[in-house]
Amino acid sequence: MKPAPTPISTVADAFNNPLLYKALRALGIETLMPVQVKAVESGLLGSNNNILVVAPTGSGKTLVGYMAMIKNFLEKCVGVYLVPLKSIASEKLEDLELICRTLGCRACITTGDYDKPSEWLSECDFIVATYERFDSLLRLKPSWIKRIGTVVLDELHMVGDDERGHVVELVGVRSLYEGYRVVGLSAAIGNTSELAEWLKAVLIYDTWRPVRLVEGYYDRSSRTIVFDDGRIESVGGDLEAHALREARVQNYQLLVFKHSRQLAENLARILADYSQEKCQDVLEEFKQREPPKVEFDNFRYILSKCVAYHHAGLSATTRKFIEELFRNRKIRAVVATPTLAAGVNLPARRVLVSVKRYEEGYMKGVSIAEYKQMAGRAGRPGLDPYGEVVIVDARGKEEAHKYIKGSPEPATSVLLSDRAIRIHTLSLISSQDAETVEELLNLLKLTLAYKQGGSTLPNRVEDVLKDLVEWELVSWEDGVLKPTKLGRTVSALYIDPLTAKIVVENLSSVRRAYDIYYLTLIAITPDFSRVRLGSTRSRELYTTMEVLIESGSIPTPPWISEYDLLRAMKAGLILRDWIEEVSEDTIAERYGVGIGDIAVLADTAQWLLYASGVICSTLGLSEHAHRLMTLSKRVESGVKDDALDLVRVRWIGRVRSRKLIVAGVKSIEDLARMNPRELAEILGIGLPRAEEVILDAKRLLSERT
């Protein structure tokens, strides 16, 4: 039964807070959902107690965080909203900007520049950041950080994520240590009470969702979909084709989750073959967005049939376009990898979910938590009477009900990995939050890892300290822990101490190096290992590696495996092509990577090249420092040396800069002196945009003088 609505005016009046009413109205909120009412009743607006909210997707958790930040602003404190992904950060910023127009405050976003304290954020009342960026700010301690009152930890279940969970955990620990009010938000998590106890928070748990969720599974033997509300739906022919047909006949949208990019793309093409709809206008609109040619060619057919796929290997332009199309109901179906469930609010009436994933040579079942995350996308609030999720590959009723009726697994700390311990040990020492082993352990005892049985933590920390001392990142004398100059630099750069060791170890013994040496070197570091490169086993790559090894053109540390070196070299070759201005389409085809992968690769490499340059500068390796800094700039823009000046101008990227150089325009000075009509003709742009380009070139020139 749907609870009686609670008008926002009632809450605002109860707390004598008319600005709260105006702020919520700015978001289009008229009444509060049950979980929001529970939060208010538990002290959200009347106290500063920590709160952990666990409720289904779409139940209104985000607004609880916003309300805490509004209260925070009225108390003249800074509110910080943390998210795991940059894409989510942009969505939250839009909401907070709407609130600020009513409150007369300023909302800002920060997701990069890890070594910068960003004092400009002192002008902001609401700050949206990724967990990694906020972790870096807690290390750098900018002056405004003392004004923080509330920290919202969104997607808190990420604390158990293998790659990033340790950052979420330490941000939680540091927030508790600094005395900030913590508001945790999570959709699917098993150990709610344990997490609430860890955060010293009041637990608010609610199962209500605005759209009723009906769950079911496909029974292959009877060729039916069996729903938990008693309905049985006969399936004629292929399940996905049946689902697409039902979506068309009943005029709703279909979302299908597959666990690999290739499976998602293949199924999208199959659905397009089945589709009886046409979306030619959508294809024309896509063409106007100027996507990479390889992506336009791949989508040409399926988009014309109102079908698309979505995964992290796509360019940002294409991903955003597909999201807009689906959100605006311009296409019928999207086949996506589970990253969509975690990163983008894109619900559909019916969702098909695969609970099997091919991993390490075997088909394995996904976690219940991951299933719940995907299932949560079923049903659009205000549009659908209910949402349906169908498990497509359960072996039978028993396995299906394990997911449908089961509870999410508990979030388990990943802090006890060697990588996580050394990163955060150096961080706590460098920020002077811990100056003795005792202080360090006292802080780490606030972690979820310690609460979950971290009896080995003291010994693990001592082993890591020995490494940090050996690598000359920390001094440990008379019981006092101090960062060295290099240690402070490494911590501020937000890289793994082992990355610094690898860079120093390899470049200290090399006087000069080719570009491919530097590019391969950063790719063998632990900070680079998370970048997806697909399959690297090919005879041509092996031959190339043998030639580069023989000529001494790439690093060959004794500890690296042949496969890992091959993988790193492949990354180096992709990056070398990128800075030599080889087209994205050619790179994607040559190395079997997605356009989105190239962007992630370049983003990671740019930062690691910059960080390596700073490290070399700190150690007096000036030649390497200069080369690395130049490479960092080239990777950032994807250009040759001669285009570095031109790409500083707004609207001039790798393609347009080359057009200018070919036409004899080789510097900002040359550009600033151009006739707008001539520039428009060279670049194939409109006259107003050409005038803006020249104006920006003149601005940059004035800043030089």
Predicted local distance difference test score (pLDDT) of residue 677: 96
Mean pLDDT of 531-554: 84
Q: CA-CA distances (angstroms) from residue 511 to 35, 328, 384, 486? A: 62, 57, 66, 20
Predicted local distance difference test score (pLDDT) of residue 8: 87
Predicted local distance difference test score (pLDDT) of residue 543: 92
Predicted local distance difference test score (pLDDT) of residue 41: 93
Q: Judge whether 6-205 and 212-404 match in fold.
A: yes
Q: CA-CA distances (angstroms) from residue 543 to 19, 523, 578, 590? A: 68, 19, 21, 15
Query: β-strand 356-359 against 362-365: which pairing, if any?
Result: antiparallel
CATH number among 1.10.150.120, 3.40.1280.10, 3.40.80.10, 1.10.150.20, domain 646-704: 1.10.150.20
Fold of 418-493: Arc Repressor Mutant, subunit A (1.10.10)
Q: CA-CA distances (angstroms) from residue 473 to 263, 464, 572, 612, 619? A: 45, 11, 28, 15, 12
DSSP 522-539: HHTSTTTTTS-------H
Taking 80 as the threshold, does the pLDDT of residue 340 lie above it?
no
Q: On the CB side of 301, how many CA atoms lie within 13 Å of its CA?
A: 12
Reference 286, options 306, 268, 266; nearest CA is 306
Predicted local distance difference test score (pLDDT) of residue 202: 97
- Identify whether the C-beta of residue 635 lies closer than 8 Å to the C-beta of residue 605: yes
Higher pLDDT, 326 or 358: 326
Predicted local distance difference test score (pLDDT) of residue 532: 67
Taking 70 as the threshold, does the pLDDT of residue 473 lie above it?
yes
In eight-state DSSP terms, residue 408 is P
Report the phi/psi class of residue 99: left, alpha or beta, with left for phi > 0 and alpha for psi in -120 to 50.
alpha
Mean pLDDT of 507-516: 92
- In CATH, what number does 497-638 get? 1.10.3380.20
Q: Which residues have CB under 8 Å from 560's CB, separation 6+?
A: 524, 568
What confidence tier does 206 reach under pLDDT thresholds 50, 70, 90?
very high
Q: Which residue has the tokens 């003291």?
A: 458
Mean of pLDDT over the chain:
93
Q: Which residues have CB under 8 Å from 273's CB, separation 6+?
A: 305
Helices 654-662, 676-683: crossing angle, 10 deg rounding: 120
Please state which of the ranges 50-59, 353-362, 607-616 shows the lowest mean pLDDT.
Answer: 353-362
Chain segment 127-149, per-residue pLDDT in tens: 999 999 999 999 999 999 999 99
Q: How far apart are the first and last CA of the chain?
A: 69
What confidence tier does 699 reach under pLDDT thresholds 50, 70, 90?
very high
Taking 70 as the threshold, does the pLDDT of residue 705 lie above it?
no
What confidence tier does 531 reach under pLDDT thresholds 50, 70, 90?
low
Q: Specify which residues 481 forms β-bridges with.
A: 476
Predicted local distance difference test score (pLDDT) of residue 285: 93
Please state which of the ranges 164-168, 380-384, 490-494 shows the lowest mean pLDDT.
Answer: 380-384
Count how many residues are written for the chain: 705
Predicted local distance difference test score (pLDDT) of residue 2: 61
The whole-angstrom distance between residue 12's C-alpha and the CA centroid of its chain comes to 35
Predicted local distance difference test score (pLDDT) of residue 345: 76
Chain segment 406-446, per-residue pLDDT in tens: 999 999 999 999 999 999 999 999 999 999 999 999 999 99
Domain boundaries, the chain: 6-205, 212-404, 418-493, 497-638, 646-704
- In CATH, what number does 6-205 get? 3.40.50.300
User: Dihedral of CA 548/549/552/554: which sign?
Assistant: positive
Mean pLDDT of 9-38: 89
Taking 80 as the threshold, does the pLDDT of residue 535 lie above it?
no
User: What tokens appear for 17 in the block?
Assistant: 């807070």
Predicted local distance difference test score (pLDDT) of residue 273: 96
Q: What CATH architecture applies to the domain 212-404?
A: 3-Layer(aba) Sandwich (3.40)
What confidence tier does 349 reach under pLDDT thresholds 50, 70, 90?
very high
Mean pLDDT of 568-588: 95
Return d(Cα 48, Cα 68) in angstroms, integer. 9
Q: Which amino acid is at 63?
A: L
- Identify whether the C-beta of residue 45 lies closer than 8 Å to the C-beta of residue 17: yes
Chain segment 29-85, per-residue pLDDT in tens: 989 999 999 999 999 998 999 999 999 888 889 999 999 999 999 999 999 999 998
Q: According to DSSP H, which parts of 535-652 are helical? A: 539-550, 562-579, 584-591, 595-618, 622-637
What confidence tier does 378 reach under pLDDT thresholds 50, 70, 90?
very high
User: What tokens appear for 170 in the block?
Assistant: 């330490």
Reference 615, options 30, 59, 115; nearest CA is 115
* Other CB atoms within 10 Å distance of the CB of residue 674: 18
- Percentage of the chain modeled with pLDDT above 90: 81
Chain segment 235-274, per-residue pLDDT in tens: 988 999 999 999 999 999 999 999 999 999 999 999 999 9
Higher pLDDT, 454 or 276: 276
Q: Which amino acid is at 72?
A: N
Predicted local distance difference test score (pLDDT) of residue 343: 65
Taking 80 as the threshold, does the pLDDT of residue 626 lie above it?
yes
